[in-house]
């Protein structure tokens, strides 16, 4: 390794714009986050203002810099990460044409059906690795074309959220391949845009930016970007990765056999693959990794820790999360016959259904708040189990290690429940900064602080804890999981009626 270097990771999540400074030992020197606002102008819609992202980045970068004695010239590279799938449309001058349509927006069911008709579902999955789902970018583009033709006519550039930040920093139109594959406009195996998909959907090829591996330099900080953020003009900006690929890098899930569970607002099960593996029905997402020559399979449940957040805010707003979860620790596994479906905002894996709804099933007068709390924790664990079962059916039967991160992972009880339900050992690492940390590591590889991502992870990450599954809970949770799997099909028609 070279002498001490300093790296900046920038993460545009749904809730905040984060800046993270680390050194070449992986020590976190400073972190700052500026809150972002979410707009829901109609039911099922979810939007944000890209200009607010930029303002948030500027504030967070300046705040992080003031926490250290570093000069901005000491930072040798910047890495980017952020929410995937969001649609940012710019005109020929780089001006934003409309609010960004986000990953959790559900307005595009008709456009998903249209994509399946035009391309063919099997052909779509064969090329992109994915079925057409409402969260992805391609159906959003078609929605704008059909519903806002004036915006579509003015469009000349399409970017993802973090790549809009890249544009503001560098003046360059570019996209990392992990993020690009999440648009479902990508040829997964070739790791670049699919001319066939773009032609079939009549999306101009010239609107799509050049794509880069996560460890490649995509440009450098321009004069305006430097003036707005306080960074040094000329600082290299690396490709980075979509939030989940960068998160996996940030916890060391970078090689086959090591999976990652992220227990954030959404719940993610992530497994690196050495080739472009595809789940035949498209129930798992198959994307490029942020690491050159590697791919990943990913299952996503839309409301993981988000389920606990909703539950606490709705039923116990004056109780801390720690106290609420502590009550559940006294309840036996299985919550006395109470099951929770965590489909509060629809679902993606294994049921790509925006009309799926949450439920408690088995509720009696004997159940207390503590039972309901534990049922929420267990319901999320069962949802993660659904993702694991699909990974195994797709051929990833040998997962030797699972690394868990995210806000929900701070709960030891929740870790234990997940370990029991999945029947795996869960491990934690020495950083909880996740995607922003991963983006900083990718930037370090881009400027030769480390020779590759494997080396970057081995030199900066250590295992800090492990939770073993309890044998006495295995059979009981298996029994409840078998019942849990019957609930979605049993309630599907009822949820459709209620949604109508």
139-150 mean pLDDT: 98
**pLDDT score, position 265:** 85
Q: Is residue 127 part of a domain?
A: yes
- Is residue 1 over pLDDT 60? no
pLDDT band at 257 (very low <50, low <70, confident <90, very high): confident
Output the pLDDT for position 483: 98
Catalytic residues: 243
Instruction: Identify whether 137 is part of a domain.
Output: yes
Q: What angle do CA 125, 131, 135 make, to 5 degrees?
A: 140
Mean pLDDT of 51-78: 95
Q: What is the CA radius of gyration of the chain?
A: 22
Rounded-to-integer distance, Cα 140 and Cα 487, Å = 30
* 52 and 37 Cβ atoms separated by less than 8 Å: yes
Residue 302 lies in a domain: no
pLDDT, residue 260, reads 93
Q: Which stretch of 160-174, 267-281, 378-392, 478-492 has the lowest confidence by average pLDDT?
A: 267-281
Alpha carbon distance 217, 212 (integer Å): 8
Strands 16-23 and 6-12 turn out to be antiparallel
pLDDT of residue 411: 94
| 365-375: pLDDT as tens digits | 999 999 999 99
User: What is residue 435's predicted lDDT score, i.e. its pLDDT?
Assistant: 92
CA-angle at 316, arms to 311 and 321, nearest 5°: 75
- Mark 425-438 as b/e (b = at least 16 C-beta within 10 Å): ebbbbebbbbbbbb
Q: Answer whether residue 89 is part of any domain.
A: yes
Predicted TM-score (pTM) of the model is 0.90
* CA distance readout (Å), 151 to 96, 166, 196, 452, 491: 10, 22, 24, 42, 39
Q: Report, as an integer, the average pLDDT of 50-56.
A: 98
As a whole number of angstroms, the distance between CA 96 and CA 448 comes to 35
Confidence of residue 34 (pLDDT cuts 50, 70, 90): very high
- Is 66 a member of any domain? yes
Give me the number of domains the chain comprises.
Answer: 1
- Residues 48-70: what's their mean pLDDT? 96
Evaluate whether residue 418 is within a structural domain: no
Average pLDDT over residues 249-267: 90
Give 447-468 pLDDT, tens digit per residue.
999 999 999 999 999 999 999 9
Is 411 inside a domain boundary?
no
What is the per-residue burial (b if ≥16 Cβ within 10 Å, else e) of 248-270? bbbbbbbebebbbbbbbbbbbbb
Mean pLDDT of 117-136: 95
Mean pLDDT value across residues 231-259: 94
C-alpha 440/C-alpha 9 separation (Å) is 4
**Does residue 2 surpass a pLDDT of 50?**
no
Asked if 380 contacts 308 with a C-beta cutoff of 8 angstroms, the reply is: yes
Highest mean pLDDT among 41-50, 295-304, 330-339: 330-339
DSSP lists the bridge partners of residue 474 as none
> Is residue 319 one of the residues assigned to a domain?
no
- Report the pLDDT averaged over residues 389-417: 88
Percent of the chain residues past pLDDT 90, beyond the cut: 85
- Give the model's pLDDT for residue 16: 94
Choice among 113-117, 232-236, 426-430 with the minimum mean pLDDT: 426-430
For all residues of the chain together, what is the average pLDDT?
94
Distance CA 203, CA 208 (A): 9
Residue owning tokens 């699909």: 390
pLDDT at 178 over 90: yes
Domain that residue 61 falls in: 6-244
pLDDT of residue 266: 87
Q: Residue 393's pLDDT band (boundaries 50, 70, 90)?
A: confident
From CA 346, how far away is CA 340, in angstroms rounded?
A: 14
Q: Running DSSP on this structure, what letter comes out for residue 353? A: B
CATH value at residue 34? 3.30.420.40
């Amino acid at each position: 390794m070279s002498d001490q270097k300093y790296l900046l990771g920038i993460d545009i999540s749904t809730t905040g714009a984060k800046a993270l400074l680390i050194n070449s030992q992986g020590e976190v020197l400073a972190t700052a986050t500026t809150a972002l606002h979410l707009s829901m102008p109609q039911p099922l819609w979810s939007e944000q203002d890209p200009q607010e992202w930029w303002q948030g980045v500027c504030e967070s970068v300046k705040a992080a810099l003031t926490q250290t004695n570093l000069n901005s010239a000491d930072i040798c590279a910047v890495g980017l990460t952020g929410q995937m799938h969001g649609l940012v449309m710019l005109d020929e001058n780089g001006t934003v044409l409309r609010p960004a349509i986000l990953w959790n927006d559900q307005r595009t069911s008709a456009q998903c059906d249209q994509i399946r008709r035009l391309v063919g579902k099997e052909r779509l999955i064969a090329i992109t690795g994915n079925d057409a789902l409402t969260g992805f970018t391609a159906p959003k583009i078609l929605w704008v074309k059909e519903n806002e033709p004036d915006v579509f006519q003015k469009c000349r550039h399409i970017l993802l959220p973090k790549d809009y930040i890249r544009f503001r920093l560098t003046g360059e139109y570019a996209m990392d391949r992990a993020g690009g594959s999440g648009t479902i406009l990508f040829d997964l195996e070739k790791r670049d845009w699919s001319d066939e998909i773009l032609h079939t959907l009549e999306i101009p090829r010239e609107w799509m930016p050049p794509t880069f591996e996560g460890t490649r330099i995509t440009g450098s900080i321009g004069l305006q970007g430097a003036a707005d953020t306080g960074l040094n003009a000329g600082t290299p900006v690396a490709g980075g990765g979509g939030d989940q690929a960068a998160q996996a890098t940030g916890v060391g899930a970078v090689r086959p056999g090591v999976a990652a569970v992220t227990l954030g607002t959404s719940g993610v099960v992530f497994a690196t693959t050495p080739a472009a593996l595809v789940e035949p029905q498209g129930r798992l997402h198959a994307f490029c990794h942020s690491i050159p020559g590697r791919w990943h399979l990913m299952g996503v449940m839309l409301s993981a820790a988000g389920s606990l957040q909703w539950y606490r805010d709705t039923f116990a707003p004056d109780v801390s999360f720690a106290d609420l979860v502590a009550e559940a620790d006294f309840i036996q596994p299985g919550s006395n016959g109470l099951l929770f479906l965590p489909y509060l905002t629809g679902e993606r894996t294994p049921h790509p259904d925006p009309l799926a709804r949450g439920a408690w099933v088995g509720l009696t007068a004997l159940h207390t708040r503590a039972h309901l709390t534990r049922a929420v924790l267990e319901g999320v664990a069962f949802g993660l189990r659904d993702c694991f079962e699909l990974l195994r059916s797709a051929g990833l039967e040998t997962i030797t290690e699972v690394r868990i991160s995210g806000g929900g992972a701070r709960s030891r009880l929740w870790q234990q429940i997940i370990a029991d339900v999945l029947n795996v050992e869960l491990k934690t690492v020495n950083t909880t900064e996740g995607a922003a940390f991963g983006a900083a590591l990718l930037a370090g590889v881009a400027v030769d602080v480390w020779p590759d991502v494997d080396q970057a992870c081995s030199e900066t990450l250590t295992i800090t804890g492990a939770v073993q599954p309890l044998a006495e809970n295995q059979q009981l949770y298996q029994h409840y999981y078998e019942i849990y799997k019957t609930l979605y099909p049993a309630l599907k028609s009822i949820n459709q009626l209620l949604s109508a």
